[in-house]
Amino acid sequence: MAVYNAPLNDMRFILNDVFNAPKFWQNNENLAHVDIETVDMILEEMAKLSKNILLPINRSGDEEGATFQGDGVVTTPTGFKEAYKQFAESGWVGLSGNAEYGGQGFPKMVTMLTEEMVFTANQSFALYPNLTVGATLCLNAAASEEQKQTYLEKMYNGEWAGTMCLTEPHAGTDLGIIKTKAVPNDDGSFDISGTKIFITGGEHDLTDNIIHLVLAKTPNAPEGSKGISLFVVPKFLVNEDGSLGERNTLAVGSIEHKMGIKASATCVMNFDNAKGWMVGAENTGLSSMFIMMNYERVTMGLQGLGGSELAYQNAALYANDRGQGRSDTQLQSPEKPADAIIHHADVRRMLLNAKANTEASRCFAMYVAKNLDEEKFSTDPELAKAASARVALLTPVAKAFLTDKALEATIDCQQVFGGHGYIREWGMEQIVRDTRIAQIYEGTNGIQALDLLGRKVARNNGKYVTHFLGEIRDFIGNMKADHGIKQATLDAADTIEALTQTVLGNIGERKNEVNGCAVDYMHAFGYLAYSYMFALMVEAANGKEGDFYTNKAKLADYFVGRILPRIESHAQMVQAGSDPMMNFDLDYFNVPAS
- Is residue 91 exposed (0-12), middle (13-18) or buried (19+ Cβ within 10 Å)? middle
In this structure, are strands 160-165 and 209-216 parallel, antiparallel, or unpaired? parallel
How many angstroms separate the CA atoms of 550 and 560, rounded?
16
> Shortest CA distance to 201 belongs to which of 160, 248, 168, 144?
160
Q: Which of 75, 2, 55 is nearest to 263 (CA)?
A: 75
Question: Quick one: CA dihedral 119, 121, 124, 129, positive or negative?
Answer: negative
How far apart are alpha carbons 577 and 518 in whole angstroms? 10
CA angle 284, 287, 291 (to 5 degrees): 135
8 Å CB contact between 272 and 281: no
β-pairing, 160-165 vs 244-247, is unpaired
The SS3 of residue 162 is strand
- The secondary structure of 35-71, three-state, reads CHHHHHHHHHHHHHHHHHHHHHHHHHHHHHCCEECCC
What b/e sequence results for 404-433 when a residue is b if at least 16 CB atoms lie within 10 Å of its CB, and e otherwise?
bbbbbbbbbbbebbeeebeeeebbbbbbbb
Residue 378's φ and ψ, nearest 5 degrees, are -65, 140
Strand partners, 229: 216
Candidates 368, 299, 357; CA nearest to 534 is 357
Q: Decide: residue 458, CB within 10 A, 0-12 exposed, 13-18 middle, 19+ buried.
A: middle
Residue 194 region by backbone torsions, left for phi larger than 0, else alpha for psi between -120 and 50, else beta: left
Whole-angstrom distance, CA of residue 348 vs CA of residue 358: 15
As a whole number of angstroms, the distance between CA 148 and CA 236 comes to 17
> At 286, is the secondary structure helix, strand, or coil?
helix
> Which residues have a Cβ under 8 Å from the Cβ of 386 and sit 6 or more positions away?
374, 467
Instruction: Give, in order, the Cα–Cα distances in Å from 489 to each of 125, 387, 426, 534, 568.
Output: 38, 22, 38, 9, 13
**What does the angle CA 446 – CA 433 – CA 270 come to, to the nearest 5 degrees?**
70
Whether residue 507 contacts residue 556, with contact meaning beta carbons closer than 8 Å, is answered with no
Q: Which amino acid is at 543?
A: G
Selecting among 442, 471, 497, 509, the annotated active-site residue is 442
Rounded to 5°, angle at Cα 243 from 185 and 231 = 35
| Whether residue 359 lies in the annotated active site | no
Question: How far apart (Å, rounded) are the C-alpha atoms in residues 133 and 110?
Answer: 14
Evaluate whether 503 touches 513 at the Cβ level (below 8 Å): yes
- Amino acid, single-letter form, for residue 182: A
Residues serving a catalytic function are: 442
